[in-house]
Structure 1
Amino acid sequence: MKFSIKHEIKGRLRVHIYQKGAMTLRQADLLQYYLGTLCGVESAKVYERTADAVVVYKGDRQDILESICRFTYEDEGLKELVPSASGRALNREYKEKLIQRVMIRAATKVFFPGWLRAAYTAVSAVRYVYRGLCCLLQGRLEVEVLDATAISVSIIRRDFDTAGSVMFLLGIGGLLEEWTHKKSVGDLARSMSLNIEKVWQKTGDAEVLVPVSSIREGDFITVHLGNVIPLDGIVTEGEAMVNQASMTGESIPVKKEKGSYVYAGTAVEEGEITLQVKSAQGSTRFERIVQMIEDSEKLKSAVEGKASGLADALVPWSLGGTALTWLITRNATRAISILMVDFSCALKLAMPLAVLSAMREAGSRHITVKGGKFLEAVAQADTIVFDKTGTLTKAEPVVADIVPFNDMSRDELLKTAACLEEHFPHSMANAVVKEAARRGLIHEEMHSKVDYIVAHGIATYVNGTRVIIGSHHFVFEDEGCEIPEARREEFEALPPSYSHLYMAMGGKLAAVILIEDPLREEAGQVIRSLKELGIRKVVMMTGDSERTARAIAQRVGVDQYFSEVLPEDKAGFVEREKAAGRKVIMVGDGINDSPALSAADAGIAISEGAAIAREIADITISEEDLYQLVTLKAISNRLMSRINWNYRFVISFNLGLILMGVAGLISPATSALLHNTSTVAVSLKSMTDLLDEKEE
């Protein structure tokens, strides 16, 4: 790629790209993504109108320049990584709309003679009057009626400047709200879009793990229990209960069998299915998510509903105050001053903007929030429940050792365990699979159908022998497996500092896999920080033994812990806490956490956990840093503080304007100008970040 350096200071480059024709929005997205991935680049911004790119870096300058030279828009791998719906087109559209409105307003003020300006204002007022009349005809006395009345009275009094100013500021406010809403929805939809890298492709009787980008329409893929369906398709084999809440809003899983149509983004809760792909990756997923978010009441928090309700409830009082002022003073100017200040604009505009802006800010910190009401729930929460594995402990436990209890070698036992565990994404299962890969063990599919028993383990048959792997309770109590008598002493001497994964063959213990699940270094400080932010009760729940649970609980400082719990135990505890009047957050990452995540006021999943947990959860955080919980709580708390401040400011400021107008201290035009200016100001403030950069 040809380019020139337009401007340069230490650590910052501005380059101009030379190419045939203007830079398209898609090309700008590709270049910006590419620059952002370069080693040493801190941030990159591409301006498609001027074909310029600004790069802020700390790495080697020459390496960055050489990388830009190697860039090409035809890189197919890059095209697959960069989403087609980036938001750049939306931003351009609304910037142009805002500029257009301001230019039209300026042109009418400067170039139109008085009579033409009056005619233009009267014509523009028609749609506001129409909306107000529609409200009245439907028996509703809402904000539209107040807006129509204020504009109509101003025009009747021949105060066209006031009417024009009111409509201009209402239009600007509406555009800002629409822009922020669509941008927030788009950002949220992009973060919710599927992030599935590999799928099980079925070819004949075999299943092969392949990149999802290689799947084409007509191919067959198998989706196992607990996984998200990556592509649209028709079921050709198997039966499954599919959770479609993320797509259709249905709370109860739907049975899917041969001939049923399944949608990308829904999750298999029970069973497994093979489907024939009908829609390749990315064709409709983003658009459906956008529609789902816009249609979903999840986007509305209670404070948004309260603001809208209060705004409408104040309309009769404003109209009544106008009539009463005129009856007492017989001064139309003072009476109209009340109509110019309706409370509703700021209340209905600033509150949703504050919530959507908070969701956007959370998204910029790799925290996906699926609805405004969940931020409100986090702010009000006083109890947080943690699953241990993958949350308080690191998301990638490792295999410390394999202790054989039969004649097979350690590698043979590990290979068998990995062959079973690779079908079910959980942190301990991933540890087994990764250890086998690290040792170079190739584990071919040598088993029959694998059955997964939630929170217990896995069972199958290998060469006619029943093989099970899972917890102590599952292997020894449910399945009644035996410990070789000659090895009992060795079994009793297993180190207690590790988690134990038991594997039995033919009813006898074959191996114990020792799993080291390192505690997150930040876990203790995160819990202390959450308590400082208003959490009063911290609970840890795990399927591990009492010994392991107690050790972890003491190290991180939780208030209460439960060991050897089942999924229904977690969900039951959450329900009991809610019944006791507490607001509960649940944090988990596995299939067995899904019931509790669904039951909590706000369910938070770890992004690298089980796919079904991410789909069911209300909020998703990155696995990299548990401090994101603290960030989320801080954003939620400050959002509620901002909303409360907005209430106080809007009511007190506008009440002051009404009193000054009634007293004759300011004119209706001044009252309208101050009111609408304050509305835009408080709305713009509501769109700013809640946290400082140093608090990230």
Structure 2
Amino acid sequence: MNAVIIHESRGRIRLRLKQKSLSLQQADLLEAWFKKQTWVQQATVHERTQCLILHYTGSRDQVLQNLKGLTWEQMESLTLPSHSSRVLNRAFEEKLVGKVAMKIFGTLFLPPPFRIARVLLHALPFLRRGLRCLFNRKIKVELLDAISIGISVFRKDFATAGSVMFLLELGELLEEWTRKKSVQDLAQCMSLNVDRVWLSTPDGEILTPISQIQPGDQVIVRIGGIVPVDGVVSQGEAMVNQASLTGESIPVAKRPGSFVYAGTTVAEGECTIWVKQISGQSRYDQIVAMIEHSEQLKSTAESKASSLADKLVPYTFAGSLLSFILTRNITRALSVLMVDFSCALKLAMPLAVLSAMNEAGREHITVKGGKFLEKIAQADTVIFDKTGTLTRACPQVAQVIAFSGREENEMLRLAACLEEHFPHSMANAVVEEAKRRGLKHEELHSKVDYIVAHGISSRVNQERVLIGSAHFIFEDEKCTISAEDQEKFDNLPLEYSHLYLAIGEQLAAVICITDPLREEAPAVLAALRGLGIQKTVMLTGDSRRTASVIAARVGVDEFCAEVLPEGKANYVASLRAAGHTVVMVGDGINDSPALSEADAGIAISDGAAIAQEIADITIAAESLWELVRLRQISLELMARIHAIYRFVIGFNGGLIALGVAGILPPSTSATLHNLSTLGISIHSMTALPNKKQRPL
């Protein structure tokens, strides 16, 4: 890369590229490439100045060496999002500058006749919208705008009409810009993050990078997996959860010939998909449509604001008419018309919610709708799953105990071969331990069946192989322990969770899993109590012995052990029936029913895909402090919404009173009203107060 260093300090360097210009696509490509490098902490590209700012780790010389060897050809393999925030911002920046420049030019340089003609031309769209409301018998803000502009033009007060229209257009532009940017950022947060898929080939299944998948390929998706592409089911049968795209609460049966959509999840079964569209290309547009059009995702506060705004319009008309009757002064009546409550309420509320959702995204929290932030603010009870939530998302294998004279590494190899198909924290632990020991586990088994909250069943070398809980192995499947191994079994270490492997209906191995508690968990629960949470509960399918140890260490108010998925959902339902607002936090397939049942379901980002898809909110796996920040953002959002109500009603009510009293002329009322609307909207877009409680 040909560039010159402009400025540098420890861990930071600013460079200017030596080329005539930098396109928006090149800037996105450059930024995306650097963000994928392990030695880059942060990368920012400014396409106008052709500058690159890097925050890096490691040796400065190594960084410069990497920069010298970088070429555009190396970056061509990167797949950029089909919708670029940089392109969106550039388009609206140009619109904004052009609108302001035209206003200044018209005011300073156009002769009066041309200024009047320009005002009349601009007034036509506003008058047309007002007439449309009148013909549809709807009294809305567009009618108010049309009447106030029309009366100003009729009174030959072209300066007032021009100012009102300029401010209205400016407000509409800022509203559209902010809304599109917020929706785009949110949609990108919710877009697919699938790196690899199981590709079906004549030689068997191959774990393949998603970037190498092409139309016509066959990919396999099993229970709990996310559908990575749009396509048609060619083999198998599955129940697919499409709630994120279609709003259907019940999984839909998909058989050969059925179409499946990228981003949906397999709730039951497995299927092979004939790829029609690669890398979930249509997923982004589907999510944007969902966010923009799904009324069910609006918070109660947003719906209330929109409803109240429309209800206040007739009162504004009544106030204007009453003012004219009492004073016989059209100027005072016009002052009332120039002010309405609906603009600020309809604009500021959605912007406040979208801004809060966007801010949550910057904190690695994905929120699927404003109403869920409201539920988080109202919540008094938080329920946690144990494994992968209160404990680390990647438990570790502490010991493998083989039975019946079998070899320890062979048993681990077999367990990893089965578990790699069903990503969950304990399954990941088995696969990682096999990798650490250098054990390769080829696909030796036949079809793998997953029994939720119990285990996995398959066949290897004509023998039935089972792996799962003690309940599944010994009670459901009636597997036995040889007499010579009974003493070894009775002395299994009690401090670990146990995963049981059986071959041919006889116990073959016990994999001991250590499940370290998240270091931050006790402090997070204490912080949540400080933010108004009254009750914390832990639910787990583990034994009561293991659960009691974790519960005591983390400090939950209650815990329930040996709970099946339906038991978790029933527990959540019982609390809601008792009048509690419940938040459920989980990461696995077995948490999905409870996540769906809760007022707000929160999934851990590296958990099962179906849990993330069903959940209303997803947080990063690195730390539970995101829960505290989520609660703070929600409370701060509700406080801001209430402040907006107070300001809009108070300020605009004051303007109306001053207009009726004859103190403010129509032009001043209109200017102050529109400036206050812009001001409160801009305030709604600002970051919420940052009160992080994460320890330094």
Q: So what's the TM-score if we normalise by structure 2?
A: 0.96
* Structure 1 residue aligned with 2:575: 577
* Structure 1 residue aligned with 2:78: 79
> Residue 658 of structure 1: CA displacement?
1.2
Match of 1:293 among 288, 291, 294: 291
> Residue 683 of structure 1: CA displacement?
0.8
Residues 466 and 501, structure 2, Cα contact 8 Å, conserved in 1: yes
Residues 591 and 613, structure 1, Cα contact 8 Å, conserved in 2: yes
* Structure 2 residue aligned with 1:594: 592
Deviations 1:588-637 (A, max 9, x none): 11111111111212111111111111111111111011101111111111
* Structure 2 residue aligned with 1:659: 657
How do residues 382-393 of structure 1 correspond to structure 2 at under 5 angstroms? Answer: 382-393=380-391
Structure 2: how far apart are the matches of 1:60 and 1:38?
14
Residues 38 and 64, structure 1, Cα contact 8 Å, conserved in 2: no
Matched, 1:49 2:48: yes
Change (3 A) 1:393 1:78: farther
Structure 1: how far apart are the matches of 2:495 and 2:104?
74
* Structure 2 residue aligned with 1:505: 503
> Residue 489 of structure 1: CA displacement?
3.1
Deviations 1:285-331 (A, max 9, x none): 32332223223224421111111111111111110011111111112
* Structure 1 residue aligned with 2:491: 493
Structure 2: how far apart are the matches of 1:336 and 1:414?
81
Matched, 1:535 2:533: yes
Secondary structure, counterpart of 2:198 in structure 1: strand
Secondary structure, counterpart of 2:602 in structure 1: strand
Secondary structure, counterpart of 1:242 in structure 2: strand
Deviations 1:34-70 (A, max 9, x none): 3445566543322212322233557544443333322
Match of 2:123 among 109, 125, 143: 125
* Structure 2 residue aligned with 1:14: 14
How do residues 121-520 of structure 1 correspond to structure 2 at under 5 angstroms? Answer: 121-204=119-202, 206-520=204-518
Q: What amino acid maps onto 1:95 in structure 2?
A: E
Residues 11 and 55, structure 2, Cα contact 8 Å, conserved in 1: yes
Q: What amino acid maps onto 1:2 in structure 2?
A: N
Ranges in structure 2 where 5+ consecutive residues have no aligned partner: none
Match of 1:670 among 668, 671, 685: 668
State the number of aligned residues.
Answer: 694
Deviations 1:564-588 (A, max 9, x none): 1111111112222222222111111
Residues 33 and 75, structure 2, Cα contact 8 Å, conserved in 1: no
Q: Which moved more, 1:308-317 or 1:49-58?
A: 49-58
* Structure 1 residue aligned with 2:28: 29
Q: What amino acid maps onto 1:580 in structure 2?
A: A
Residues 320 and 333, structure 2, Cα contact 8 Å, conserved in 1: yes
Match of 1:606 among 601, 604, 607: 604
Q: What amino acid maps onto 2:660 in structure 1?
A: V
Q: What amino acid maps onto 1:521 in structure 2?
A: E
Q: Which moved more, 1:47-56 or 1:630-639?
A: 47-56
Q: Which moved more, 1:203-212 or 1:319-328?
A: 203-212
Structure 1: how far apart are the matches of 2:528 and 2:6?
47
Q: Percent identity?
A: 58
Residues 35 and 68, structure 1, Cα contact 8 Å, conserved in 2: no
Residues 39 and 59, structure 1, Cα contact 8 Å, conserved in 2: no
Change (3 A) 1:569 1:205: farther
Structure 1: how far apart are the matches of 2:56 and 2:167?
41
Change (3 A) 1:513 1:42: closer
Deviations 1:91-114 (A, max 9, x none): 000111111111111112111222
* Structure 1 residue aligned with 2:683: 685
Q: What amino acid maps onto 2:451 in structure 1?
A: I
Deviations 1:411-463 (A, max 9, x none): 11111111111111111011111111111112222222111110011112222
Structure 2: how far apart are the matches of 1:694 and 1:547?
35
Residues 241 and 255, structure 1, Cα contact 8 Å, conserved in 2: yes
Structure 1: how far apart are the matches of 2:492 and 2:8?
63
Secondary structure, counterpart of 1:423 in structure 2: coil
Deviations 1:458-511 (A, max 9, x none): 112222222211111111111122233333333232222111111222222222
> Residue 346 of structure 1: CA displacement?
0.8
Q: Which moved more, 1:220-229 or 1:456-465?
A: 456-465
Structure 2: how far apart are the matches of 1:559 and 1:59?
45
Structure 2: how far apart are the matches of 1:626 and 1:640?
22
Deviations 1:320-361 (A, max 9, x none): 011111111112222211111101111111111100111111
Secondary structure, counterpart of 2:446 in structure 1: coil
Q: Which moved more, 1:391-400 or 1:438-447?
A: 438-447
> Residue 5 of structure 1: CA displacement?
3.0
Match of 2:553 among 547, 552, 555: 555
> Residue 224 of structure 1: CA displacement?
1.0
Change (3 A) 1:512 1:7: closer
> Residue 78 of structure 1: CA displacement?
5.4
Residues 369 and 618, structure 1, Cα contact 8 Å, conserved in 2: yes
Q: What amino acid maps onto 2:124 in structure 1?
A: V
> Residue 116 of structure 1: CA displacement?
2.3
Secondary structure, counterpart of 1:74 in structure 2: helix
> Residue 375 of structure 1: CA displacement?
1.0
Structure 1: how far apart are the matches of 2:69 and 2:634?
44
Residues 228 and 280, structure 2, Cα contact 8 Å, conserved in 1: no
Deviations 1:383-402 (A, max 9, x none): 11111111100000000001
Residues 395 and 515, structure 2, Cα contact 8 Å, conserved in 1: yes
Q: What amino acid maps onto 1:327 in structure 2?
A: I
Q: What amino acid maps onto 1:200 in structure 2?
A: W
Q: What amino acid maps onto 2:318 in structure 1?
A: G
Q: What amino acid maps onto 1:340 in structure 2?
A: M
Structure 1: how far apart are the matches of 2:401 and 2:7?
63
Change (3 A) 1:40 1:230: closer
* Structure 2 residue aligned with 1:566: 564
Q: What amino acid maps onto 1:657 in structure 2?
A: L
Ranges in structure 1 where 5+ consecutive residues have no aligned partner: none
Residues 396 and 515, structure 2, Cα contact 8 Å, conserved in 1: yes
Change (3 A) 1:278 1:539: same
Change (3 A) 1:649 1:602: same
Change (3 A) 1:678 1:419: same
| Pairwise CA RMSD | 1.8
Deviations 1:5-58 (A, max 9, x none): 345566654322123x53111100122233445566543322212322233557
> Residue 655 of structure 1: CA displacement?
0.9
Structure 1: how far apart are the matches of 2:25 and 2:653?
49
Secondary structure, counterpart of 2:186 in structure 1: helix
* Structure 2 residue aligned with 1:69: 68
Residues 41 and 59, structure 1, Cα contact 8 Å, conserved in 2: no
Residues 26 and 84, structure 1, Cα contact 8 Å, conserved in 2: no
Structure 2: how far apart are the matches of 1:261 and 1:466?
33
Residues 350 and 646, structure 1, Cα contact 8 Å, conserved in 2: yes
Q: What amino acid maps onto 1:277 in structure 2?
A: V
Structure 2: how far apart are the matches of 1:387 and 1:668?
60
> Residue 85 of structure 1: CA displacement?
2.5
